Amino acid sequence: MKKILMTAILLFVLFAGFLTFRFGSALSQEGNPLPILYSISKIEFANSSYEQYSKTHKSTRFVSENTGESRYDVVKDIMKKNGWDFKEQMGAGLIFEKNGQTKVVETRQYSRHYILSDIPNDVLS
Protein backbone atom coordinates (compact mmCIF):
# COMPACT_ATOMS: atom_id res chain seq x y z
CA MET A 1 0.00 0.00 0.00
CA LYS A 2 2.85 2.39 0.81
CA LYS A 3 4.48 1.73 -2.57
CA ILE A 4 1.27 2.58 -4.42
CA LEU A 5 0.84 5.79 -2.41
CA MET A 6 4.46 6.83 -2.98
CA THR A 7 4.15 6.08 -6.71
CA ALA A 8 0.97 8.18 -6.94
CA ILE A 9 2.61 11.07 -5.09
CA LEU A 10 5.69 10.86 -7.30
CA LEU A 11 3.57 10.87 -10.46
CA PHE A 12 1.61 13.88 -9.20
CA VAL A 13 4.81 15.80 -8.40
CA LEU A 14 6.28 14.96 -11.81
CA PHE A 15 3.08 16.07 -13.56
CA ALA A 16 2.98 19.33 -11.56
CA GLY A 17 6.65 19.92 -12.36
CA PHE A 18 6.00 19.33 -16.05
CA LEU A 19 3.12 21.83 -16.06
CA THR A 20 5.20 24.42 -14.25
CA PHE A 21 8.16 23.92 -16.58
CA ARG A 22 6.06 23.95 -19.76
CA PHE A 23 3.80 26.91 -18.92
CA GLY A 24 5.52 28.76 -16.08
CA SER A 25 3.95 32.10 -15.26
CA ALA A 26 1.33 31.67 -17.98
CA LEU A 27 -0.68 29.46 -15.61
CA SER A 28 -2.09 32.43 -13.70
CA GLN A 29 -2.34 35.12 -16.37
CA GLU A 30 -5.84 34.15 -17.58
CA GLY A 31 -7.49 33.31 -14.26
CA ASN A 32 -8.51 29.64 -14.09
CA PRO A 33 -6.02 27.78 -16.33
CA LEU A 34 -7.89 24.44 -16.35
CA PRO A 35 -10.10 25.08 -19.44
CA ILE A 36 -7.06 26.28 -21.38
CA LEU A 37 -4.90 23.34 -20.26
CA TYR A 38 -7.71 20.91 -21.14
CA SER A 39 -7.95 22.44 -24.62
CA ILE A 40 -4.16 22.31 -25.01
CA SER A 41 -4.21 18.61 -24.14
CA LYS A 42 -6.88 18.10 -26.83
CA ILE A 43 -4.64 19.90 -29.34
CA GLU A 44 -1.65 17.75 -28.39
CA PHE A 45 -3.39 14.37 -28.24
CA ALA A 46 -6.13 14.79 -30.86
CA ASN A 47 -3.79 16.39 -33.38
CA SER A 48 -6.08 19.37 -34.01
CA SER A 49 -4.80 22.84 -34.83
CA TYR A 50 -7.08 24.75 -32.42
CA GLU A 51 -9.65 24.21 -29.67
CA GLN A 52 -12.34 26.39 -28.12
CA TYR A 53 -11.84 26.91 -24.39
CA SER A 54 -14.40 29.56 -23.48
CA LYS A 55 -17.47 31.39 -24.75
CA THR A 56 -18.91 34.67 -23.48
CA HIS A 57 -21.83 36.75 -24.74
CA LYS A 58 -19.39 38.77 -26.90
CA SER A 59 -16.74 36.34 -28.11
CA THR A 60 -15.55 32.77 -28.39
CA ARG A 61 -12.03 32.07 -27.21
CA PHE A 62 -9.69 29.63 -28.88
CA VAL A 63 -6.21 28.31 -28.15
CA SER A 64 -3.84 27.29 -30.95
CA GLU A 65 -0.19 26.35 -31.32
CA ASN A 66 2.38 29.08 -31.81
CA THR A 67 4.04 27.95 -35.03
CA GLY A 68 6.41 30.90 -35.32
CA GLU A 69 6.05 32.87 -38.55
CA SER A 70 2.63 31.40 -39.39
CA ARG A 71 1.18 31.59 -35.87
CA TYR A 72 -1.93 33.50 -36.99
CA ASP A 73 -2.78 31.17 -39.88
CA VAL A 74 -5.22 29.21 -37.70
CA VAL A 75 -7.22 32.37 -36.90
CA LYS A 76 -7.11 33.44 -40.54
CA ASP A 77 -8.44 30.00 -41.58
CA ILE A 78 -11.30 30.15 -39.04
CA MET A 79 -12.29 33.58 -40.30
CA LYS A 80 -11.95 32.59 -43.98
CA LYS A 81 -14.29 29.62 -43.39
CA ASN A 82 -16.85 32.14 -42.16
CA GLY A 83 -16.44 34.38 -45.22
CA TRP A 84 -14.12 37.04 -43.78
CA ASP A 85 -11.06 38.33 -45.65
CA PHE A 86 -7.85 39.22 -43.81
CA LYS A 87 -6.84 42.84 -44.37
CA GLU A 88 -4.02 43.70 -41.99
CA GLN A 89 -2.43 43.19 -38.61
CA MET A 90 -2.22 46.00 -36.07
CA GLY A 91 -0.18 44.84 -33.11
CA ALA A 92 -1.91 41.80 -31.65
CA GLY A 93 -5.16 42.54 -33.51
CA LEU A 94 -6.02 40.96 -36.83
CA ILE A 95 -8.42 42.99 -38.99
CA PHE A 96 -10.93 41.24 -41.26
CA GLU A 97 -13.56 42.55 -43.68
CA LYS A 98 -16.79 41.15 -45.10
CA ASN A 99 -19.45 43.07 -47.06
CA GLY A 100 -18.03 46.44 -45.96
CA GLN A 101 -18.06 45.40 -42.30
CA THR A 102 -14.83 45.28 -40.26
CA LYS A 103 -14.06 42.99 -37.31
CA VAL A 104 -10.96 42.74 -35.12
CA VAL A 105 -9.78 39.45 -33.66
CA GLU A 106 -7.65 39.97 -30.57
CA THR A 107 -4.76 37.57 -30.02
CA ARG A 108 -2.24 37.15 -27.25
CA GLN A 109 0.57 34.79 -26.49
CA TYR A 110 -0.27 32.39 -23.65
CA SER A 111 3.14 30.75 -23.50
CA ARG A 112 5.91 30.42 -26.02
CA HIS A 113 4.03 27.41 -27.41
CA TYR A 114 0.39 28.65 -27.56
CA ILE A 115 -1.66 31.62 -28.77
CA LEU A 116 -5.09 32.68 -27.41
CA SER A 117 -7.62 34.30 -29.76
CA ASP A 118 -10.90 36.12 -29.06
CA ILE A 119 -13.22 35.89 -32.07
CA PRO A 120 -16.48 37.90 -31.95
CA ASN A 121 -19.58 35.66 -31.79
CA ASP A 122 -21.38 37.45 -34.62
CA VAL A 123 -18.54 36.32 -36.92
CA LEU A 124 -19.03 32.64 -36.07
CA SER A 125 -22.65 32.33 -37.19
Predicted pLDDT at 46: 87
Please tell me the pTM assigned to this model.
0.74
Alpha-helix residue ranges (DSSP H) falling in 24-109:
34-46, 73-81
- Domain limits of the chain? 2-123
Model pLDDT for residues 76-92, shown as the tens digit of each residue: 999 999 999 999 999 99
Order of strands across the sheet with 59-65?
A: 50-55, 59-65, 114-120, 101-111, 93-98, 85-90
Q: Which residues contact 111 (CB under 8 A, 6 or more apart)?
A: 22, 23, 24, 26, 66
Q: Which residues of the chain have pLDDT under 50?
A: none
